[in-house]
Amino acid sequence: MKILVCISHVPDTTSKINFTDGDSKFDTAGVQFVINPNDEFGLTRAMWFKEKQGATVDVVNVGGTETEPTLRKALAIGADSAIRVDATPTDGFFVAKQLAKVAKEGNYDLIIAGRESIDYNGGMVPGMMAALMDANFVNTCISLEVEGDTATAIREIDGGKETLTAKLPLVIGGQKGLVHEKDLKIPNMRGIMQARKKPLNVVEAEDVSAQTETKKFEKPDPKGEVKLVDPDNLDELIDLLHNEAKAI
């Protein structure tokens, strides 16, 4: 089984976020980037298929040279090779077109992406990629097993869970639950050394017009001051909730 894991290069959640050019561009200065958490769950599941079923695992990213350390980390975790589509990811459709092309040309059986990236939270790339490939698609996936050419997946739905079976090729939008957090892999020294020798192929991007354009970013309003109420003074608490916070 050939597996392709889509890796987003995203800011660490502890990074301080700022914007430039009249709040129209994200300021990357001083920001540490990591593997998108939803993608990391998918990569770890792919490693399970490699260890248990002998699958081959490649990782792919759309981005410039600045994303290569993130791909190298994925290689250190255990991926066999990496592909970088040499382009700036302008919008979800552009990214989906690039990834779909790589997936189709590589004849991958299983394409694992995160259900969304934690930077723009678009949540559209996996579904569009599946449509462009004419492949089956399961979103919000929290469990995945593959036997032969059939996959069994469990996904979260409103109020519960749903179990589905689908034929390969299959695209999934994975998330927390696909593996346990305790099973996430941390690169060790041996993996880091091996990653230096693994192939990282750079491919030209397909000429695709972006369908959306970012006009402006805006930070949320700063948090207001915290008002402390004596735990024995319930009347004051109720009054504040009712008349000031308008919560009741």
Residue-wise pLDDT for 56-70, tens only, equals: 999 999 999 999 999
pTM: 0.87
- Residue 244 backbone dihedrals phi, psi, to 5 degrees: -100, -55
Give the domain range for residue 151.
Answer: 2-215
Please name the amino acid found at residue 208: V
Residue 127 placed within a domain: yes
- Say if 24 falls within a structural domain: yes
Q: Measured between alpha carbons, how far is 191 from 15 in angstroms, rounded to an integer?
A: 26
Ramachandran region of residue 159, left (φ > 0), alpha (ψ -120 to 50) or beta?
A: left
- 109: closest CA among 48, 172, 168? 168
Helix, strand, or coil (residue 29)? coil
Query: Is residue 220 situated within a structural domain?
Result: no
Does residue 239 fall inside a structural domain?
A: no
Residue 9 lies in a domain: yes
56 within domain boundaries: yes
| 242: in domain | no
| Token representation of residue 114 | 């995160």
Residue 168 resides in a domain: yes
Q: How many domains does the chain have?
A: 1
Q: What CATH number is given to the structural domain containing 9?
A: 3.40.50.620
CA distance 22 to 29: 16
**pLDDT tens-digit profile of 133-174?**
999 999 999 999 999 999 999 999 999 999 999 999 999 999
Whether the per-residue pLDDT at 248 is higher than 90: the answer is no
Q: Are 112 and 8 in contact (CB under 8 A)?
A: no
Of the candidates 93, 90, 153, 164, which has an alpha carbon nearest to the alpha carbon of residue 129?
A: 93
Report pLDDT for 1: 95
